[in-house]
Amino acid sequence: MNQSVQSHTHNSEYLKQVIKPSSGWVGIDFRELWRYRELLGFLAQRDIKVRYKQSVLGILWAVIQPLVNTLVFTVLFGLLLGSGKQPSAEGTPYFLSTYAAMLPWGIFATALTTAGNSLVANANLIKKVYFPRLITPIVPMVTAMIDFAIQFVILIVIAVGYMIWGGYELKVSWELLTIPLFLLLALLAALGVSLWVASLNALYRDVRFILPFVVQIGKFVTPVVYTTASVIKPENFGDRTDLVHLIYSLNPMVGVIEGFRWALLGASPFPWVEIIMAVPLTLLVLIGGMYYFRRMERIFVDLV
Amino acid sequence: MADDIAIHVENLGKRYQLGQQLHGNLRELSNHVLGAPLRWAKSLAGTKSAQAQRDAADDILWAIRNISFDVKRGEVLGVIGRNGAGKSTLLKILSRIVEPTEGSVTLNGRVGSLLEVGTGFHPELSGKENIFLNGAILGMTRKEINAKLSDIIDFAEIEKFMDTPVKRYSSGMYTRLAFAVAAHMEPEILIVDEVLAVGDYTFQKKCLSKMGEVASEGRTVLLVSHNMASIQNLASTCLVLEEGRLTHVGPTVGAIDRYLAGDQTGQSFDVSETKRAKEDHGRHIRFTRIAPVPAIGNAFRFGDSLEFDISFRVISKQGQVRFGVTITDQADSPIVSTQTHAFECPDISGDTDIVSRVILGKILLAPGHYKLAVSVIEGSLFGGWTSYDLVRPGMDFKVENVSSSDEALHKWSHSSLGFIKAPEAAIEINVQDHSCQS
């Protein structure tokens, strides 16, 4: 008798879970996501460790790609437009201005591509064990941050190099502290789009072929190898310049990249229009994506 | 819900749509994406929902339906059933991998589910790294894994290779490591699928005893297996699933009988029209049916007396005849033969089936699938004979291992041990004391 009372009190501590069919739109259980944060960490660790296994240059690849990319455009535009006349942020060497944009674009592109395929890539896990499925597209956001950190160090080295040998004046100011905010915006935008892409990818594998293509085009639609001001200007659009600017800013990465240049290089004015467009749009895509993902989640296991 | 109930399942059902083509053509894609607002509007307007339309379709399959049961805390519950009976679906719902279509499950306690060993193992990562990754996937915290790390490594017996990528492991090492992690999960409710079927026998035994420990520690275990011996070893109560329905709940021994009895397929074999090897076979005496007569269902338990009902017709009366019986393997190679004593051919001609029971006795056939070939002959199989009829390849039957005591049969391999287990051999030990001789 005594014992049953004892177990009574003990039992009340048991975690209680109820499994039943969900219907329609389901919310996101943030508390549960938080409980699974360690798994998120382990999966990110796995992806980072595995990525550069058995490669001689290892993590250097994270640096080589944007560097070579920037170099190619510097030379190409230099030949086309004349050295020093490439479309760079005001008072900034083109190489620096472009490399600074390559970083946020790079993490966006990598995060989007990896996260977009994440459900299919982790099919073996999804079929065998439960965890909040939202973790799979979030993992690439974490790994992208690691890449970013390494690339950022190189960016500082390049900037200092320009200061010493190029006579370029790097303005160290409070604006540098806003960089994490733009990074966050880029990751949220990548996550938002990824949630849609990953869900659709489970349904239609066409997405896997479309995605790299879209990312490639996106790089040129976004002011990575040029600046917004160098393209969206009255010479090109006349009276409609402001309208075009507004439409152009629908792409949240425009805000991220111009914001990044503003914070880091301090050359251009703060991109108000871009940021005002980017923030609510990103949140809209993200929240919509989360709900869509949650809705599709229950059939993923039968599709991947 | 009472406090001593760990798992409460109520009216659970999972429906699948057969032939569902989701990744179809462009029109479906656009319907899916662009049609969403329309469907939403329709559902608001109260039009017949897509769900209701789907229900009407006849290409739906209920993998399981109307399943209700309770598992008490500390109980080890076995789930048995044929392939396709819905065991995996039930387990996947309990593990939250698939969502039920109807009904509910209440789980009181931290759940660990083990549908596969080594889930998420990455070949490029070292043994140690995989322990952490796999542990986290199975729901352990970093702290827990750290605390058990040395136990896990000991259990897996691979201390030397902890920093080697698992892609260089032998498959045995790989399995042992995977099991070691799984065996150290400490959930309050453990859900285990047919995972004991891998690994070498000694290691399997180690895992079984580890799982037995788990059960004795008062944790609740839900276990699916085709291995009746391990079910009998571990589970006190069993559920029997048949075609998605729960047909029996009760003590393990009775449930296993029910499970074996549930297999009605091929219980008797109509051979009246089967083509014979020789033209004159079946002209005078012809076999019509062969049916195994096991204690339950179609399967003999290992050690049962092998008995068959053999029906035949006499078309034209003969003299003294006897039956020849050969048990063959699946490939039709003979394993063992015998014959009945000679009897006077009955004088009942025409369409009347004469049923005879042939009792082979306790031939210790190892668990597995066999065929029974029969002949009716004049003379003797071991002298000279003429056969009136011969059915070969014969009727399928099987022998199942349900005894938990006879461990030797747990992993009987036909290829290395043959088909028949002889009675335990006698042994005489002679100690020769050489010192006396000198």
Q: Tens digit of pLDDT for each residue in A122-179?
A: 999 999 999 999 999 999 999 999 989 999 999 989 888 888 887 777 777 888 899 9
In sequence order, what are the beta bridge partners of B245? B242
Query: Looking at this protein, which amino acid is placed at residue A296?
Result: M
Query: What are residue B104's DSSP bridge partners?
Result: B10
Which pair of tokens denotes residue B415?
A: 């290829």
CB neighbours of residue A304 within 10 Å = 18
User: Of B29, B92, B119, which is closest to A204 when you measure between CB atoms?
Assistant: B29
b/e map B402-419, b = 16+ CB within 10 Å:
bbbeeeebbebeeeeeeb
Helix, strand or coil, per DSSP, at residue B359? strand
Residue in B98, B103, B19, B11 with CA at minimum distance from that of residue B54: B19
pLDDT in tens, A245-269: 999 999 999 999 999 999 988 877 8
Query: How do residues B142-155 score in pLDDT, each as one tens digit?
Result: 999 999 999 999 98
Question: What is the set of domains in chain B, with CATH numbers?
Answer: 5-22+65-261 (3.40.50.300), 23-58 (no CATH), 269-404+409-417 (2.70.50.60)
* A131 to B137: CB separation less than 8 angstroms, yes or no: yes
**B52: which 2 tokens?**
């209701």
CB-CB under 8 Å, A19 with B104 = yes
CB-based burial label for B72 (10 Å; 0-12, 13-18, 19+): middle
Check A203 against B137: CB less than 8 A apart: no
CB contact under 8 A, B23 and A303: yes
What local confidence, expressed as pLDDT, does residue B169 receive?
Answer: 92
Q: Supply angle C-alpha B91, B92, B95, rounded to 5.
A: 85
DSSP secondary structure, B49-67, as one string: PHHHHHHH-S-EEEEEEEE
- B41 and chain A in contact, CB less than 8 A: no
User: Which one, of B324, B323, B317, lies nearest residue B352 by Cα?
Assistant: B317
Max Cα-Cα span within chain B = 108
DSSP codes joined into one string, B218-245: T-EEEEE-S-HHHHHHH-SEEEEEETTE
Helix, strand, coil shares of chain A, percent, nearest 5, are: 75, 0, 25
Residue A61 Cα distances to A55, A117, A147, A150, B173, angstroms:
9, 21, 10, 10, 34
Residues linked to residue B239 through DSSP beta bridges, in sequence order: B79, B249
Mean pLDDT, chain B, integer: 81
Interface test with A, best of B7, B17, B122 (most A CBs within 10 A): B122
Contacts of B16 in chain A (CB under 8 A): 302
Of the two residues B407 and A78, the one the predictor is more confident about is A78
Q: How many helices (H) and strands (E) in chain A?
A: 15, 1
Q: Per DSSP, what are the bridge partners of residue A269?
A: none
**Cross-chain CB nearest to A49 (options B92, B111, B125):** B125
Residues of A with CB under 8 A from a CB of B: 7-8, 11-12, 14-22, 38-39, 41-43, 45-46, 49-50, 53-54, 124-131, 200, 203-206, 298-299, 301-303
How many angstroms separate the CA atoms of B341 and B332, rounded?
A: 25
Query: Which residue among A12, A130, A204 sits closest to B96, beta carbon to beta carbon?
Result: A130
Structure tokens at A169: 């004046």
Count how many Cα atoms sit within 13 Å of the Cα of residue B138 in the half-sphere of its side chain.
Answer: 32
pTM: 0.73
> At residue A104, does pLDDT exceed 60?
yes
Which of B33, B108, B115 lies nearest to residue A16, judging by beta carbons? B108
**For residue A76, pLDDT beyond 90:** yes
From A245-254, B160-169, B252-261, the region with the lowest mean pLDDT: B252-261
Residue B118 near residue B40 (C-beta atoms within 8 A)? no
pLDDT in tens, B194-228: 765 555 667 666 776 777 777 677 788 898 887 77
Looking at per-residue pLDDT, the higher value among A204 and A114 belongs to A114
